[in-house]
Structure 1
Amino acid sequence: MSDRVAVTSRVVAVFGAAGHTGRFVVAELLRRGIRPIAIARSADALAAANFREPEVLCRPATVDDEGSLLQALAGAGAVINCAGPFLDTADALAAAAVKLRIHYLDVSAEQPSVTTTLEKFDKPAREAGIAVIPGTGFYGGLADLLVTAVLGDWISADTIDILIGLDSWHPTRGTRVTGERNKATRMVVADGSLTPLPLPSAQKHWNFGAALGEQLVSEMPFSEIVLISRHVKTSELHTYLSTAALTDIRDKTTPAPQAVDSTGRSAQRFVVDVIARREGATRRIIARGQDIYAFTAPLVCEVVERLVRQQFSQAGAHAPGEILNAREVLTVLHPDHLEFEIAAS
Structure 2
Amino acid sequence: MVINCAGPFLDTALPLARAAVEAGAHYLDVTAEQPVVQALYNELDAPARSAGVAVVPAMAFFGGLADLLVTAALGGGSQADEVEIAIGLDRWWPTAGTRATGARNTATRLVIRDGTLTALDDPAPTGTWPYPPPLGVQPVVELPFSEVVTIGHHLKVGELRSYLNTAPLDDLHDARTPAPPAADEEGRSAQQFVVDVVVRRGTETRRIVATGRDIYAVTAPIVVEGAVRLIEGRHRHPGAGAPAEMFDAAGVLSALARNGRSIAVRSDPCLAGE
Give the corresponding residue for 1:213.
Answer: 136
Query: What displacement does 1:153 show?
Result: 3.4
Structure 2 letter corresponding to 1:339 = A
Structure 2 letter corresponding to 1:172 = T
Pairing 1:312–2:232 present: no
Structure 2 letter corresponding to 1:122 = D
Aligned equivalent of 2:75, options 134, 137, 152: 152
Structure 1 letter corresponding to 2:200 = R
1:179-218 equivalences under 5 Å are: 179-218=102-141
Query: What displacement does 1:313 show?
Result: 4.7
Query: What displacement does 1:92 show?
Result: 1.2
Alpha-carbon distance in 2 for matches of 1:239, 1:167:
17
Alpha-carbon distance in 2 for matches of 1:198, 1:209:
27
Alpha-carbon distance in 2 for matches of 1:106, 1:329:
16
1:36-47 equivalences under 5 Å are: none
Identity of aligned residues (%): 53
Give the corresponding residue for 2:11.
Answer: 88
TM-score, normalisation: structure 1: 0.76
Are the structure 2 counterparts of residues 313 and 163 from structure 1 closer, same or farther at C-alpha, using a change threshold of 3 Å? closer
Structure 2 letter corresponding to 1:298 = P
Query: What displacement does 1:96 show?
Result: 1.1
Q: Larger Rg: 1 or 2?
A: 1
Q: Which runs of 5+ in 1 are unaligned?
A: 1-77
Pairing 1:285–2:208 present: yes
1:34-183 equivalences under 5 Å are: 78-183=1-106
1:323-342 equivalences under 5 Å are: 323-334=246-257, 335-342=260-267
Question: Once the two structures are superposed, what CA deviation does each residue of 1:260-316 show, in whole Å capped at 9, x if it has no partner?
Answer: 001000000000000001111100100000000000000000011000111235100
Give the corresponding residue for 1:234.
Answer: 157
Residue 114 of structure 1 aligns to a residue whose secondary structure is helix
Pairing 1:297–2:220 present: yes
Query: What displacement does 1:91 show?
Result: 1.2
Quick check: 2:236–2:247 contact (8 Å CA) kept in 1?
no
Structure with greater contact order relative to length (CA < 8 Å, sep ≥ 6) = 2
Q: Which runs of 5+ in 2 are unaligned?
A: none
Residue 189 of structure 1 aligns to a residue whose secondary structure is strand
Residue 267 of structure 2 aligns to a residue whose secondary structure is strand
Alpha-carbon distance in 2 for matches of 1:222, 1:153:
24
TM-score, normalisation: structure 2: 0.96
Question: Once the two structures are superposed, what CA deviation does each residue of 1:169-197 show, in whole Å capped at 9, x if it has no partner?
Answer: 11000000000000000000011100000
Alpha-carbon distance in 1 for matches of 2:169, 2:26:
33
- After the TM superposition, which of the residue ranges 206-215 and 219-228 deviates more from structure 2? 206-215
Alpha-carbon distance in 1 for matches of 2:99, 2:19:
26
Alpha-carbon distance in 2 for matches of 1:228, 1:313:
16
Alpha-carbon distance in 2 for matches of 1:175, 1:342:
30
Residue 102 of structure 1 aligns to a residue whose secondary structure is coil
Structure 2 letter corresponding to 1:257 = P
Alpha-carbon distance in 1 for matches of 2:55, 2:114:
29
